[in-house]
Every structure is written in structure tokens, then in C-alpha cells.
């Protein structure tokens, strides 16, 4: 905590880093789990093209906002301790689709 705590200039407060965050986290390789979830959703979308289209638009919006990114082949092949693949998920709401 002492390493990440700094005094805010001109104020009576301090800012500290996340107390529970490890500097060098080791994440398990979850690529296959994320890919399996995507295949499950693709199969589900075969029966409902409207939901598939809404889901694709939602994913594209997240990419455009910088929340997600498409990986290049080299990035998929590289091994890193801090790579974590978000599994695909969806929630159907009568008003909109949230991913």
C-alpha cells in the first residue's frame, strides 16, 4: 500500500492503488472455454437471426468504443501471463440486447 499511495497536491487527501491487486497476476489459459461458449452461442443464434444480428451490433459497438478488440493471429499465438479471454454472453431484454 505504501508503494502506491501518494498525496494529492493542494489537498488533504491521498490516492492509493488497489489494495488487493497483484503486480504480476498469473491467469490460467481460458481460450478453449471462451471458444466453447462462442460455439454454443453460434448454435443458438442459428435459430434466431434477429438476436444474432443484435448481438453482433452490440459487440461491434464495444469494439468501436475500445472496450474490446479483434486480435491478430500473432496475438492469438503468443503466450502471456496476463491474457484473459472474455467469454461471450448475452442477455435478452424486450427493449434492447446487452452483451
* Residues 6-35: tens digit of each pLDDT: 877 777 888 887 777 667 777 888 889 989
Whether the model clears a pTM of 0.75, i.e. scores above it, the answer is: no
- Rounded to the nearest angstrom, the gap between the alpha carbon of residue 31 and the centroid of all alpha carbons in its chain is 13
Q: Can you say whether residue 6 is alpha, beta or left, with left for phi > 0 and alpha for psi between -120 and 50 degrees?
A: beta
**CA nearest neighbour of 93 among 51, 57, 56, 59:** 51
Is residue 38 within 8 Å of residue 88, measured between CB atoms? yes
* Residues 32-87: tens digit of each pLDDT: 998 999 899 899 899 888 888 988 898 899 899 998 888 888 887 887 777 788 77
Helix (H, G, I), strand (E, B) or coil at 79: coil
Amino acid at each position: 500500500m505504501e508503494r502506491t499511495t501518494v498525496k494529492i497536491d493542494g489537498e488533504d487527501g491521498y490516492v492509493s492503488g488497489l489494495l488487493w491487486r497483484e503486480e504480476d497476476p498469473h491467469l490460467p489459459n481460458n481460450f478453449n472455454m471462451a471458444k466453447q461458449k462462442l460455439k454454443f452461442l453460434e448454435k443458438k443464434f442459428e435459430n434466431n437471426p434477429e438476436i444474432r444480428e443484435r448481438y453482433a451490433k452490440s459487440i461491434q459497438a464495444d469494439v468501436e468504443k475500445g472496450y474490446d478488440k479483434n486480435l491478430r493471429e500473432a496475438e492469438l499465438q503468443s503466450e502471456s501471463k496476463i491474457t484473459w479471454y472474455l467469454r461471450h454472453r448475452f442477455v435478452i431484454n424486450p427493449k434492447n440486447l446487452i452483451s
